[in-house]
């Protein structure tokens, strides 16, 4: 067996993360306007990512975020990053999200009813989005 085959046989299924790129004014995506754009460059341009766990929680709780709402949340993460935050609680309307700021990844999300009498731990900041 070749080394490449051995490595490939030990790899498990890929569990991806959904990314939400910054909105462009021109209406075309970065990949469409620059066909040579690498996958890593596209990931780097993403303003906000959601872990698999966070996606499941959003879906289970019926939380749907629109692009303009995602932009506001991403701006809140920008503010937390500017202050040196690492793990931040982002409160947006009746949604609470724990965000790993350096990775720009939403780790989990709760709706209003799930937040009641809930203690948030392992955060170093909180951002309230109005």
Buried b (16+ CB within 10 A) or exposed e, 27-49: eeeeeeeeeeeeeeeeeeebbbb
pTM of the model: 0.66
Mean model confidence pLDDT for the chain:
79
In the chain, where are the structural domains located?
A: 51-130
Q: Is pLDDT at 20 greater than 50 in this prediction?
A: yes
The highest-confidence range among 19-23, 45-49, 63-67, 87-91, by mean pLDDT, is: 87-91
Q: Is pLDDT at 42 greater than 70 in this prediction?
A: no
Where is pLDDT greater, at 5 or 58? 58
Q: What is the DSSP letter of 103?
A: T
User: Alpha-carbon distance 78 to 2, whole Å?
Assistant: 46
User: Alpha-carbon distance 73 to 16, whole Å?
Assistant: 21
Q: What is the DSSP letter of 127?
A: E
Q: Is pLDDT at 44 greater than 90 in this prediction?
A: no
The C-alpha angle with vertex 38 and arms to 33 and 39, in degrees rounded to 5, equals 110
pLDDT the model gives residue 116 = 86
pLDDT the model gives residue 130 = 85
């Amino acid at each position: 067996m070749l080394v490449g085959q051995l490595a490939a046989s030990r790899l498990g299924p890929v569990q991806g993360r959904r990314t939400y790129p910054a909105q462009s004014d021109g209406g075309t995506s970065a990949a469409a306007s620059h066909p040579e754009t690498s996958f890593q460059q596209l990931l780097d341009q993403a303003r906000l990512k959601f872990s698999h766990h966070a996606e499941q929680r959003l879906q289970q709780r019926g939380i749907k975020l629109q692009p303009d709402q995602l932009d506001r949340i991403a701006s809140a993460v920008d503010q937390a990053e500017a202050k040196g935050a690492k793990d931040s609680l982002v409160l947006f309307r009746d949604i609470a999200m724990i965000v790993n700021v350096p990775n720009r990844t939403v780790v989990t999300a709760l709706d209003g009813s799930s937040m009641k009498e809930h203690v948030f731990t392992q955060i170093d900041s909180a951002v309230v989005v109005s």
